[in-house]
């Protein structure tokens, strides 16, 4: 069962991908370390830098051209801020439609005291390694890792489980927010608890919670997050409102 689940989730994603295999980059309106959309103009600056580096960049709320209809032809942009004493450190990640990191930039470092100036300075330095990629789109089948659940395999995931299953339950109701790749489930605070990626089935998502990677699956009108922990399958009941 473990091997089948692993193959189901990851076989289609094991390509030797690089940024040149993707048509465009999607920029979110907000990053984890800022409070409001485009705070400190980070999204605006990012789009300008990406365009300068040769990428076709779009905000996540923009209507995309038809040639970008397949989300797995696209890269998904993120800025990660590192903890640093009396300094600002951040780096850039470009991910595919499954959340796999395709590229991670060098860390940009700034000692500017003003927050907006520090973010702009650190981001500019992080973008040096992005620019050095010399991006140029190259059409290849590797750019389209199909997230598909084949009918002859899916029933194994749904109905067959090993004899030892750790069952957990979370009582707090989570709320689904639409993203480019699927959904994110947030609590009342709101804090992102799960990230979901669409598959060809409406009752099954590729899912991540922190460092745990697995699936969110619907069984008997209830949702379960299932993943492996210390060689054992964990099935965690999740209360969610879509």
CATH code at 85? 3.40.50
pLDDT by residue for the chain (242 residues), tens only, comes to 444 444 444 443 433 468 999 999 999 999 999 999 999 999 999 999 999 999 999 999 998 899 998 999 999 999 999 998 889 999 999 999 989 999 999 999 999 999 999 999 999 999 999 999 999 998 764 444 444 444 443 443 443 444 455 666 666 788 889 888 889 998 888 888 999 998 888 888 998 888 788 889 998 888 998 888 777 788 889 998 88
Query: Do 136 and 44 have their domain in common?
Result: yes
At 154 the pLDDT is 40
- Burial of 91 from C-beta contacts in 10 A (0-12 / 13-18 / 19+): buried
Where helices occur in 11-114 by DSSP H, the ranges are 42-52
Query: Do 85 and 110 have their domain in common?
Result: yes
Query: Do 42 and 128 have their domain in common?
Result: yes
Cα gap 240→242, rounded to integer Å: 6
Distance set, CA 121 to CA 57, 106, 126, 231 (Å): 21, 14, 9, 44
Query: Do 137 and 183 have their domain in common?
Result: no
Range of the domain at 96: 18-143
At 168 the pLDDT is 64
- Burial of 225 from C-beta contacts in 10 A (0-12 / 13-18 / 19+): buried
Query: Do 32 and 130 have their domain in common?
Result: yes
Instruction: For residue 127, tell me if it sits in a domain.
Output: yes
At 132 the pLDDT is 93
* DSSP string for residues in 145-208: ------TTTHHHHHH---S-EEEEEEEEEEEEEE-SSEEEEE-SS--EEEEEEE-SSTTEEEEE
At 190 the pLDDT is 80
At 43 the pLDDT is 93
Query: Do 26 and 123 have their domain in common?
Result: yes
Out of 107, 124, 143, pick the residue that ends a domain.
143
Q: Are 203 and 217 in contact (CB under 8 A)?
A: yes
Q: Count of domains in the chain?
A: 2
Query: Do 138 and 152 have their domain in common?
Result: no
At 165 the pLDDT is 59
At 166 the pLDDT is 66
Strands 182-186 and 212-219, sheet pairing: unpaired
**With a threshold of 0.85, does the pTM exceed it?**
no
Nearest to 105 by CA among 71, 81, 137: 81
At 140 the pLDDT is 63
At 148 the pLDDT is 46
């Amino acid at each position: 069962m473990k091997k089948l689940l692993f193959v189901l989730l990851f076989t289609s994603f094991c390509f030797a991908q690089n940024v040149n295999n993707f048509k465009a980059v999607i920029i979110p309106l907000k990053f984890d370390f800022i409070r409001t959309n485009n705070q400190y103009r980070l999204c605006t600056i990012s789009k300008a830098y990406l365009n300068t580096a040769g990428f076709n960049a779009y905000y996540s709320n923009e209507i995309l051209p038809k040639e970008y209809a397949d989300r797995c032809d696209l890269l998904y942009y993120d800025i990660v801020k590192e903890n640093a004493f009396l300094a600002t450190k951040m780096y850039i990640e470009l991910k595919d439609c499954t959340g796999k990191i395709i590229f991670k930039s060098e860390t940009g470092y700034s000692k500017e005291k003003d927050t907006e100036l520090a973010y702009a300075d650190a981001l500019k330095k992080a973008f040096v390694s992005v620019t050095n990629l010399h991006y140029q789109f190259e059409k290849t089948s590797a750019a389209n890792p199909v997230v598909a659940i084949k009918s002859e395999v899916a029933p194994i995931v749904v109905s067959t489980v090993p004899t030892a299953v750790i069952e957990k339950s979370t009582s707090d109701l989570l709320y689904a927010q639409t993203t480019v790749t699927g959904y994110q489930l947030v609590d009342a605070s709101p804090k992102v608890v799960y990230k979901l990626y669409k598959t060809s089935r409406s009752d099954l998502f590729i899912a991540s919670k922190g460092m745990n990677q697995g699936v969110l699956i619907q069984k008997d009108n209830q949702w379960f997050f299932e993943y492996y922990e210390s060689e054992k399958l964990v099935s965690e009941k999740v209360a969610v409102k879509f």
